[in-house]
Amino acid sequence: MEHKIAVIAGDGIGPEVLAEGVKVLNAVAEVDGGFSFDFTHFPWGCEYYLKEGRMMAEDGMEQLKKFDAIFLGAVGYPGVPDHISLWDLLLVIRKQFDQYINVRPVKLLKGAPTPLKDVTCEDIDMVFIRENSEGEYAGSGSWLYPGQSNEVVIQNGVFSRKGCERVIRYAFELARKEGKTLTSISKGNALNYSMVFWDQIFAEVGKDYPDVETHSYLVDAASMFMVKDPKRFQIVVTSNLFGDILTDLGAAISGGMGLAAGANLNPERTFPSMFEPIHGSAPDIAGQQKANPLATVWSVAQMLSFLGHVEWEQRLIDIIEELLVEKAVLTPDMGGVATTAQVGDEVVRKIREKY
């Protein structure tokens, strides 16, 4: 079986970490023997924009449609306004391919650094299900009277019944399957339309899952508890913006941006899903082989599972954990001196050694 993968390495450290991800996918395929990968590389991103005046080819979405998955590095670089680079590449893919589920594990692996005191790996073990298609990221609004004294901008949040129900139901299904609690994070006290509606739908959908223990937190209190008492959270479901912010907080307590992975899923498989580390293009370390590729390796683990090679997900997470425990081959963010490529090579070495 051959999987067709669209590779969009993007900007900054994107190409550096994706090169390691591709190495790892090829090594897994070789060792497994049951499948292979056919990679097509797309040169899209900020450099492309500066030459072509657009972030991706005009028929880019049409080209991407035929792939089994998209593997994305990072998008955004000084010189191109962020709202252009992200809206015309990353966000357009998430939205047009209806990748409405963003799965982001927040799990402290053994050997990973955490700034929290007195926590064990068992205490930080969550999966965030972030709404990924609408909400605060709907892109609805207007900019009135630009530059005038009566200038006004309006940014609307769009929360549809369909959009809320499907992400909340997905999270309930996951919680039921894994026998875990489900926590909804919202802000109904201040956002008197959108988040009241979200809470109402969480309660409605919950009626179909009497076996799942649920909790609801306001996002401010949730942020506090993620630091003070992270073991309260298992499966978490939240809106697009809250999920974005809280998963960077989650990364901070579970090893840093260099370990945080995410999957943008279209569960119906009408369109390709997209796998990416959650970090950005990190211009401060780009081109120096300092970027940690392990977040990318973790997103590769998610991709393998989504493509049906479920056993490889835990195998790769175990290898990431081994590297963290051994501390011999790690990038500077993890206290090591290895390059991005050396870490990727070490993951490949372990895949070959163990399987």
Using CB under 6 A, list all residues that contact ligand NAD. 13, 17, 74-76, 82, 86, 90, 257-258, 276, 279-285, 291-292, 295, 333
Please answer whether residues 70 and 101 qualify as being in contact, where contact means their C-beta atoms are separated by less than 8 angstroms.
no
Q: How far is the CB of 84 from ligand NAD (least distance, A)?
A: 10
CA-CA distance, 104 to 96, in Å (whole number)? 20
Picked from ligand NAD, ligand IPM, Mn ion, none, the partner binding residue 118 (CB below 5 to 8 A depending on kind) is: none
Collapsing DSSP states into helix, strand and coil, what is residue 235?
strand
Task: Please give the torsion angle defined by the CA atoms of residues 109, 111, 113 and 114, in that order, rounded to the nearest 10 degrees.
Answer: 50
Helix segments in the chain, DSSP class H:
14-32, 46-52, 60-64, 82-85, 91-96, 161-178, 194-206, 219-228, 240-253, 294-306, 311-326, 340-354
Task: Please count the CA atoms within 13 angstroms of the CA of 313 that sit on its side-chain side.
Answer: 14
Q: Is residue 276 near Mn ion by the rule CB under 5 A?
A: no
Residue placing its CB nearer to ligand IPM in the complex, 91 or 158 = 91
Q: How far is the CB of 223 from ligand IPM (least distance, A)?
A: 16
Q: Which residues bind ligand IPM (CB under 6 A)?
A: 86, 90-91, 244, 278
Residue placing its CB nearer to ligand IPM in the complex, 256 or 329 = 256
Q: How far is the CB of 44 from ligand NAD (least distance, A)?
A: 12
150 secondary structure, DSSP code:
T
Q: How far is the CB of 90 from ligand IPM (least distance, A)?
A: 6
Residue placing its CB nearer to ligand NAD in the complex, 188 or 336 = 336
Collapsing DSSP states into helix, strand and coil, what is residue 298?
helix
The C-alpha angle 204, 263, 108, rounded to 5 degrees, equals 90
Q: Which of 88, 244, 333, 346 binds Mn ion (CB under 5 A)?
A: 244
Q: How far is the CB of 125 from ligand IPM (least distance, A)?
A: 21
Q: How far is the CB of 92 from ligand IPM (least distance, A)?
A: 11
Picked from Mn ion, ligand IPM, ligand NAD, none, the partner binding residue 292 (CB below 5 to 8 A depending on kind) is: ligand NAD
Written as six digits, the tokens of 49 are 């924009």
Residue placing its CB nearer to ligand IPM in the complex, 6 or 74 = 74
Q: How far is the CB of 278 from ligand IPM (least distance, A)?
A: 5
Residue placing its CB nearer to Mn ion in the complex, 68 or 88 = 88
Task: Please give the torsion angle defined by the CA atoms of residues 125, 307, 238 and 247, in that order, rounded to the nearest 10 degrees.
Answer: 50
Residue placing its CB nearer to ligand IPM in the complex, 67 or 242 = 242
Question: How far, in Å, are 64, 73, 214 from residue 205 at the CA level?
Answer: 34, 35, 11
Picked from Mn ion, ligand NAD, ligand IPM, none, the partner binding residue 230 (CB below 5 to 8 A depending on kind) is: none
Q: State the number of binding residues for Mn ion (CB under 5 A).
A: 1
Q: How far is the CB of 55 from ligand NAD (least distance, A)?
A: 11
Give residues with Cβ within 8 angstroms of 131, minimum separation 6. Answer: 100, 102, 163, 164, 167, 237, 238, 239, 240, 243
Residue placing its CB nearer to Mn ion in the complex, 13 or 323 = 13
Positions that interact with Mn ion (CB under 5 A):
244
